[in-house]
Amino acid sequence: MSKRLFYNLFATDGFINLPTGPTGTEPRRRIYVFGFVGGLFKVQTICFGGHEGPAMVVNPQFDTTVPANLDALRGTAVIPSPRIDMEVGDELYITLTNLGLYLTTPPILDLHSVHIHGGHVATQVDGVPETSWGVPVTPPGMPAITVTYYFKPEKPGTYFYHCHQEASEHVQMGMYGALIVYPSMQSLAKAGIVKDPSTGRWLCKGRPQPQIPISATNRNFAYNDINSFFNSDWVLLFSDIDSTWHDAVFAQTDFNPVNYKPDYWLVNGRAFPDTLLPTTLPASLAPDFGYSIPDGYESYVRVSTGNPATRRPPDKFLLRMINISYQPVPFHVHGWHGMIIGKDANPRTAGEMNFTTLVGSGESYDILYSADDKRSIYADYIFCGKAGFPSLKQQIAQATEQSIAAGTFIPPFPGATDLWSNIILQTGLGQGTFIPPYNWVPWNYGSSTADNFMFPQFYLAHNHDDYKVTNNGVYPGGQLILIETDFPGCNYKKTPPIITERPHICP
């Protein structure tokens, strides 16, 4: 069984407001952008033997035959464009409507196109103006002028799409999004990977695979390979912005792309600390804390370590790194080493490991991590002291006391102790006010009210050109995300949280 996916995308313009300081509450930098909006319009199931089911409309607001729908979408572009998810064997139809760029004076009536980056498609639908065509503007109040792109992926992997009209400018302006192709049950079965219909257990070439939970689906695999299993996968779409170029486009003054000099660096269209926010912001937080982005672009990664007591294996999590920026991104993940299991939508089964992935412009990498439990190595030192050293908590308390006496103490910036934790807890987890005594701060060691708790741990992942971990030079910002690592069974989403972790007992 495969599907026809009908995506309706609309090219338009908009504004994003980037953070200018480490708290996200400083006055923001308004940036003019282009982008695609819209998303999945309808789905049609194709059964074995080619029988076609009825097409089910899932998002009627993207119906191109209703001019009011089009007008409602004008001027709403953000970065990135909608994420497209599909499976091997599915057919993708992207119907493009060009709404024009009407926020400028006069409007910019450029053509736009969709290029599927890494897609093996006919020249005629490659989205490149030199060999293909562009979609002309539909003016306000008019019925849509559309053309539809077609793509049937032959293999799973991490792809993306972008406009290829005046690509130097339109890509910089923000016309790009992720396209993820998962294996299908059929493509897995061809590789000998099946789910036993009677027990629900996973088998590979007839052998049981107890490490793969019964709840797993074909969308828990990156490739048609049993070793590409993950509990969760995360798109990290890297891009950069030269604000002077965006200003020039808005003002319709000249900008020579060879003078490109970025001052903002984004993951999934956002700069830190916005990268901690959920994709959809409550109206009460926007615009002070930024802007909503399409579904599927969470960059606040949450995983659980393994728990030997319950025989729960550590979470496997896949980072799908995509670079659509104009510079290479050396993306470094703290805490664990990852395995490169895919590059440009091609599986790599040799098992090469790394802790930094140099993602060149136009490249995609699939890096698989195992959230191993490091308590046995770290806990004694942190909580109890080791090798003659007092516990780290005691050392820090002492150093703070001594530096106050010496006059060299530097307090955290105002609000620092609750700022990121509140962003994470109030909005990152979407659970409202996080009331003491359950408060904690990311650089603390678990709960501030209960000693000897190890979780959550926070690992950074960031561009290691560290000046790109800034917003226009102000650290921290830019391409920086957090990976929150929880103890299995620990649910910090609950108020109060359910803490099942047992405190570390000092020897």
Q: Which segment (157-165, 184-192, 422-430, 458-466) binds Cu ion by CB under 5 A?
A: 157-165
- 366, two tokens: 């699939």
In 152-281 the beta strands, taken as DSSP E runs, fall at 157-162, 176-182, 193-195, 202-204, 207-208, 232-241, 264-267
Kindly tell me which residue out of 94, 163, 341, 423 binds Cu ion, with binding defined by CB under 5 A: 163
| Nearest distance, CB of residue 113 and Cu ion, angstroms | 6
| Nearest distance, CB of residue 106 and Cu ion, angstroms | 17
CA atoms of 126 and 346, how far apart (whole Å)? 20
Q: Which residue, among 201, 202, 199, 198, has the nearest Cα to 227 in the 3D structure?
A: 202
| Nearest distance, CB of residue 152 and Cu ion, angstroms | 24
Interaction between residue 249 and Cu ion (CB under 5 A): no
| Nearest distance, CB of residue 8 and Cu ion, angstroms | 16
Cβ atoms of 364 and 157 within 8 Å: the answer is yes
Interaction between residue 164 and Cu ion (CB under 5 A): no
Q: Which segment (162-170, 243-251, 291-299, 483-491) binds Cu ion by CB under 5 A?
A: 162-170
CA atoms of 168 and 174, how far apart (whole Å)? 11
- 363, two tokens: 């490249």
Site string for Cu ion, 43-62 (x = CB under 5 A): --------------------
CA atoms of 350 and 307, how far apart (whole Å)? 28
Site string for Cu ion, 86-125 (x = CB under 5 A): --------------------------x-------------
| Nearest distance, CB of residue 228 and Cu ion, angstroms | 34
Parallel, antiparallel or unpaired: strands 193-195 and 176-182: unpaired
Site string for Cu ion, 453-492 (x = CB under 5 A): ----------------------------------------
Helix extents (H) in 149-264: 167-172, 185-190, 243-251
How many C-beta neighbours within 10 Å does residue 430 have?
Answer: 13
Cβ atoms of 151 and 92 within 8 Å: the answer is yes
Q: Which segment (168-176, 259-267, 336-344, 459-467) binds Cu ion by CB under 5 A?
A: 168-176
Parallel, antiparallel or unpaired: strands 264-267 and 157-162: unpaired
Kindly tell me which residue out of 42, 74, 170, 462 binds Cu ion, with binding defined by CB under 5 A: 170
| Nearest distance, CB of residue 134 and Cu ion, angstroms | 8
Kindly tell me which residue out of 64, 132, 165, 187 binds Cu ion, with binding defined by CB under 5 A: 165
Q: By CB under 5 A, name the binding residues for Cu ion.
A: 112, 163, 165, 170
